[in-house]
Amino acid sequence: MSQKTILHMLTPHKHVSPFDVNMAADAGFDVIVPYDAVTLGEVSDLVQDAIFSRPPKWGASTGIFIGGNDAVLALDMVDAARKALVPPFGVHIFADPSGSFTTGAAMVALVERQLRATGRTLQDTPIAIFGATGVVAYCAAVIAALEGARVTLVGHDGPERVGRRSAEMQARFDVSVEAADGATPAGTARVLADTQVVLSAARAGLRVLTREALATAPSLLVAADVNAVPPSGIEGVDAGADGVPIDGMKAVGVGALAIGNVKYRTQAGLFRRMLSSDTPLVLDFRDAFAFARGLVA
């Protein structure tokens, strides 16, 4: 009899995301168990409870999924889970809080594809990120910075909060990320003056960049928006756009549905990778980006 595949889904919230439960079930896990209101301090005990109940060779049939909506907490939980492993006892560990790791990965992969069409890469490309204190923005910023892009987090209420965010990224990933204030049209225009890529990852249904604002970005090549709830986060970028020219500009747009399509296939693909691997894997947004990149190449 072959052992069942089991996924333990941890969230610091009141509920595990039904989206993630469906994705895991559709990928093929036999047993899916949600754990809510999980604290960072509880992760280690839960992981060790999972690993010691099965022989080590069944470790690759057991998974820990980490949800929530806080990138920093999710990464801390991944670290805690990894440290709790006792070789040869192991389990898969996969974090995707609010779907953000796979969403940020899909967004940057699709932007990179548009840059490549103009003979460029992410290396040294100036990228401004709006909605920059959110979890999707966090992943997109770190992924792009690790690829050598010149990333700026744009705050909507002053530079302090995005400044703390960039300091955290630098400390954790040794990447250089700038912070700027986009609370006023003049502040946004200063950021956009030399920007070649804008990423909008602000809250759903919020327009953060109008046509007038985009007109202050003369070097813009790509504008990507993850918000699927009208109005679009960036005026002139339709949800289904995937390299569609923005009216009156040389830049192209990448919209939320195009990003969502790659995000969905990336999350499904990483779940399937867990199910097919003979050895336990640890997966975060860097793995999601590698997978998404492969999908869009």
Ligand X SMILES: NC(=O)c1ccc[n+]([C@@H]2O[C@H](COP(=O)([O-])OP(=O)(O)OC[C@H]3O[C@@H](n4cnc5c(N)ncnc54)[C@H](OP(=O)(O)O)[C@@H]3O)[C@@H](O)[C@H]2O)c1
Burial of 267 (0-12, 13-18, 19+ CB in 10 A): buried
Piece of the chain touching ligand X by CB under 6 A; list 115-123, 257-265, 266-274, 282-290: 257-265
Binding-site member from 143, 202, 209, 217 for ligand X (CB under 6 A): 202
Binding-site member from 59, 90, 126, 134 for ligand X (CB under 6 A): 134
Least separation in angstroms between residue 165's CB and ligand X is: 9
CB 176 within 8 A of CB 170: yes
- Does residue 17 belong to the site contacting ligand X (CB under 6 A)? no
Neighbouring CB atoms inside 10 A of 158's CB total: 13
Least separation in angstroms between residue 234's CB and ligand X is: 12
Least separation in angstroms between residue 239's CB and ligand X is: 8
Query: Which residue of this chain has its Cβ atom nearest to ligand X in the complex?
Result: 134
Give the total of residues touching ligand X (CB under 6 A): 27
- Does residue 103 belong to the site contacting ligand X (CB under 6 A)? yes
Least separation in angstroms between residue 242's CB and ligand X is: 12
- Does residue 131 belong to the site contacting ligand X (CB under 6 A)? yes
Among 14, 129, 171, 142, residue whose Cα is nearest residue 71: 142
Report the distance separating Cα 17 and Cα 215, nearest Å: 39
- Does residue 156 belong to the site contacting ligand X (CB under 6 A)? yes
Stated as kind and residue range, the H or E segment containing 154 is strand 150-155
User: Which alpha helices (H) appear in the chain, and where do they start and end?
Assistant: 18-27, 40-51, 71-84, 100-117, 135-146, 160-173, 185-192, 211-214, 256-276, 285-296
Binding site for ligand X (CB under 6 A): 69, 98-100, 103, 130-137, 156, 201-204, 206, 208, 226-228, 256, 259-260, 263
